[in-house]
A and B are shown apart, each in its own frame.
Chain A
Amino acid sequence: MSRVKEFFASRTGIISVGLFIGVLAALLQKWGNPGNMGICVACFERDITGALGMHRAAVVQYLRPEILGFVLGALISAYVFKEFRPRAGSAPIVRFILGMIAMIGALVFLGCPWRALLRLGGGDGNAIFGLLGLAAGIGVGALFFKAGYNLGRTQKAYPSVGWLFPLVILGLLALRLLYPQIPDQDKSGILFYSLKGPGAMHAPLAVSLIAGLAIGMAAQRSRFCTMGAFRDLFLFRQTHLLSGLIALLVAAFVANLALGQFKPGFAGQPVAHTMQLWNFLGMAVAGLAFALAGGCPGRQLFMAGEGDGDAAVFALGMIIGAAVSHNFGLASSPQGIGPHGVAAVLISLIVLVFIGLTMRQKA
């Protein structure tokens, strides 16, 4: 057991996990997930929001089993390795707002950091601007940290506090099993299912769920985090997490080449737009929000599986952020940014700077 722990904490461990996620993501696309979206935490949470009818964008409604697998896989791994630590109470309302803003920014770019890497690994040049924005946003976050930004201590909590979010996830899984997709129907029981668009593209339920569980376990062990990759580089000159991120990118690129999914270019890329300023700024907003909240969307799900109630609040914030994004025209589409995307980015930036500047310990 301790040797497994050591392996995942090592550089070889984090690189292996990056390679694993990169290859699996390319395969999930092969098995049915949308283009350059084998995995996307933001997009998939948005699809879940749609499946529950909390937004009615008909092309992005599907209860993605991968997300459920992430949380449950991390939960299983945390129990197996005795790392389940129920905790909560570090500025939950701030984390909720940060989750909302993270989702709003990610949906202006059209993807979370994982998908930004997968997009680049699939040949989508627009992702370069998103990744630059992500790095810029996290860089600003690092400056806030240097200036004393801190959300405060979390508190130990009852086990049930740590269990509530995984229980919600189990409830969603029950809904997915109870109301499976009916061919050519956009609704099954209370769940919405897309008939066209990215929401209609998905790998089989069992495949998605098992892949999600496997990634959840591996990522819980290795602490894989795309935000941490840049943050640790900027703050500490450490490249541990960054090596995992690069491994994911390289693996996705090679796997896409092998599977015939690599299509270099800027125009006409799947679920992407070419408004580069907004690709950059959308991801800068998301990156800063991730940095201030202490984890990328994937990492927040894994921490929620470990019993972190604050990470769970962030994830719920992302769900509401997705609803807001699609109900109020903030989210982009392949045609470009939404009617209120510009306002959303600017207001988000102001809120983030407010949080970054005001939540700090005086030395």
Chain B
Amino acid sequence: MSEQIDARGLSCPQPVLLTMEKLKTLNQEELVVLVDTDTSRENVSRAAASLGWQVKEVQSEGEEYRITLQKS
């Protein structure tokens, strides 16, 4: 089970802040981030890429997104 961040309901820049903090200290190859706006989805994806992570998968669940990030 990969680690998970729940950034639903949080507005800019919280989802990115949480994701980046976690990515910097994470010992796993994968991180799941839950967001509920397209803006957050784009921002989290962009931030992950800047740290050398890639977006493995984005699952749409109703109005929410489940982003799986993977170390590239």
Contact = CB atoms under 8 A, between A and B. Distances in A.
Nearest to A151: B11
B9 A155 contact: yes
A264 B19 CA distance: 44
The 4 nearest A-B residue pairs measured at CB? A153-B9, A294-B11, A154-B9, A9-B42
B19 to A, nearest CB: 10
B8 A145 contact: no
Given A150-B14, A223-B39, 11 more contacts: A83-B38, A85-B36, A150-B10, A153-B8, A155-B9, A228-B13, A232-B13, A236-B20, A240-B46, A294-B11, A294-B13
Interface string B1-30: 000000011111110110010000000000
Interface residues of B, number: 20
Interface string A200-236: 0000000000000000000000010000100110011
B16 A236 contact: yes
B47 A238 contact: yes
B63 interface: yes
A237 B63 CA distance: 30
B12 A228 contact: yes
B50 interface: yes
Given A223-B39, A236-B47, A238-B47, A295 B12 contact: yes
Contacts of B36: 85, 156
A181 interface: no
B54 interface: no
A223 B9 contact: no
B37 interface: yes
A276 interface: no
